[in-house]
Structure 1
């Protein structure tokens, strides 16, 4: 089961390095994490997962991510307890802020065992648009990436 949901007080940022999925240790890619920002609303997809799936996710998200309990708000106004993975600034793979064009350049050149980093960004942007989510950070980097790839 999956449903569009939003969380308050967090925003999506391409600040986490990926040396195990979308890049390599020599050339890490960039993937999203959630960073706290008062009054922000971050829209995404919520999934109901089994404990077995969490075992897989905990391995997949091992590169600096922590699980955080959070309140999800669904489009109909109802709420549920949920879990998100966040990367904190103190993990080795955290890359932090950079200009959007620099992030796009890094994404354009990175690839890892899960495929090109560009595919990750382009699919995320497509999914966000399909659910009507507004994510200026992601869309700005996507625009720069398309310039890089053309």
Structure 2
């Protein structure tokens, strides 16, 4: 899949990566430019099982996936053409360890104009897609799920903080965290 993505990119121009979750606050690659961006036809959703990074096989956590429908505000990162292949290889080791994402080239609309960017999307047919979760299920995941990078709750809070820092609203995430927090503070 990496070779296919590199071939689709072509290596003739700079590489753009669309970040909508932890890539915004922990890209782990060098970039020469970062811009606010919006992709249409996709939305950020805390609906992907994480059995390593934010949970375990016995107690899976959650991470964000980019699902079809709606639109998503995030950031695009420009990587110089000559650094594109090594950056993709490093990104693959981080994002594609279990091969759960479907890498896609999406048009990201930025204040300076549209750019073709690589995004890591999630199919609703994937075994890692959670489907609909109840508030009780989210509460249990937030209370107990933890993996090599920490808890699902910390991940969700950190993502929300970073989105706000970049003036990006995610009403679904805000509402979910507000409800969970209110439940935790009930006598």
TM-score (norm 2): 0.71
State the shift of 1:43 in Å: 0.4
Q: 1:24 aligns with which of 50, 56, 64?
A: 56
Q: Which residue of structure 1 aligns with residue 71 of structure 2?
A: 41
Structure 1 regions of 5+ residues with no counterpart? none
Residue 108 of structure 1, aligned match among 121, 143, 156: 143
Residue 100 and residue 58 in structure 1: after superposition, are their counterparts in 2 closer, same or farther (change >3 A)? farther
Consecutive unaligned residues of structure 2, counting only runs of 5 or more, are 1-32
The structure number with the bigger radius of gyration is: 2
C-alpha deviations, 1:69-127, integer Å up to 9, x for none? 100011x2511000100121232222122134532431331100011111110011111
TM-score norm. by structure 1 comes to: 0.87
Q: Distance in 2 between matches of 1:66 and 1:77?
A: 27
Greater strand proportion:
1
Equivalences for residues 1-150 of structure 1 within 5 A: 1-37=33-69, 40-49=70-79, 50-62=84-96, 63=98, 64-74=100-110, 76=111, 78-100=113-135, 102-147=137-182, 150=185
Whole-angstrom CA distance in 1 between matches of 2:183 and 2:56: 20
Q: C-alpha distance in 2, partners of 1:46/1:104?
A: 32
For the aligned residues, what is the CA RMSD? Answer: 1.8
**Structure 1 residue ranges, 4+ long, deviating more than 4 angstroms after superposition:** none
Deviation at 1:142, TM superposition (A): 1.7
Instruction: Provide the secondary structure at the position in 2 that maps to 1:118.
Output: helix
Distance 1:101 1:10, change over 3 A: farther
Check whether the contact 1:105–1:145 (CA below 8 A) recurs between aligned residues: no
